[in-house]
Structure 1
């Protein structure tokens, strides 16, 4: 008897004819987002620390006025925002179609036709989340009450969050 490794997981967004598509509900998406938030916080802290060390080291030897410190703080904020945007857009448009938090709970983001997201679509979905937040968070709460568990940002981006297990 030989040891044959198990087959790799199937990340195909297309459900079999016998199985109905299961959509990711509100609470499981909250858990996934919290996992992503913790991960981004840790990575952002490390990146911010390194950024601060580099900038501080350069300032020590160059001598920089106080206005440059403000510019560096703004630069750090932009760096953090860019990190978050890239995290969500790159991973949701990847072959697996999910951030690490979504993967941990067995979710995947697909187009409303069940196809893999393009980077542009995932990038737009990230900014559509801002709209969901700006309407007092109601755009996120819509996930709990719509038939395919779609938030306002999902509707704007033409996406679905589905279970892939």
Structure 2
């Protein structure tokens, strides 16, 4: 079985979420220290909403932190999955990788498309993720959109070695 199943992918996601959660916590602490001990002055946008009270400033900062976390998450997934590793840390820990339809590593653009397509899977009550358990090639909606596959690394390497060995003997 070449394709990585639902539960293996869920476990990889949990590992990656723990890693990203730690990174987000560190980023939040750094941001908090800068705000607390830095020479913080409200920006013009913050100054204009000071009349709305502290809740408006808190909301703006929360939005900023959320966007920062989303950007960091996107870069983590897109860079790792388009790198030589072809997988995030969670996937590597479980021996699975992400490939395109030719079993090659993803481009940064395709890895980005795969990441942002996960928003669609989330919006439709996670059905896009659950699809993994029911599609023939174990693809989630974001895999179908980006034309990607999550496969067992050892089995893929074995198949590729077998194919190259067969080609060399001819």
Where do residues 29-68 of structure 1 align in structure 2 (5 Å cutoff)?
A: 29-58=9-38, 61-62=39-40, 64=42, 65=50, 66=54, 67-68=56-57
What residue number does 1:83 align with?
72
Larger Rg: 2
Instruction: Indicate the SS of the match to 2:135.
Output: coil
Which residue of the other structure, out of 85, 109, 118, is the alignment partner of 2:98? 109
CA RMSD, aligned part only?
1.5
* Aligned structure 1 segments of 4 or more residues deviating by more than 6 angstroms: none
What residue number does 2:168 align with?
none
Say yes or no: does 1:144 pair with 2:147: no
Encode CA deviations 1:26-52: one digit per residue, 9 max, x unaligned: 000000000000111011101111111
Say yes or no: does 1:130 pair with 2:119: yes
Deviation at 1:53, TM superposition (A): 0.8
Deviation at 1:62, TM superposition (A): 4.3
TM-score, normalized by length of structure 2?
0.79
Where structure 2 has 5 or more consecutive residues not aligned to the other structure, the ranges are 43-49, 155-170
Deviation at 1:112, TM superposition (A): 1.5
Where structure 1 has 5 or more consecutive residues not aligned to the other structure, the ranges are 1-20
Deviation at 1:109, TM superposition (A): 0.3
TM-score, normalized by length of structure 1?
0.81
Aligned length: 143
Instruction: Indicate the SS of the match to 1:148.
Output: coil
Cα gap change, 1:72 to 1:161, in 2 (>3 Å): same
Q: C-alpha separation between the residues in 2 aligned to 1:39 and 1:62?
A: 30
Higher helix fraction (1 or 2): 2
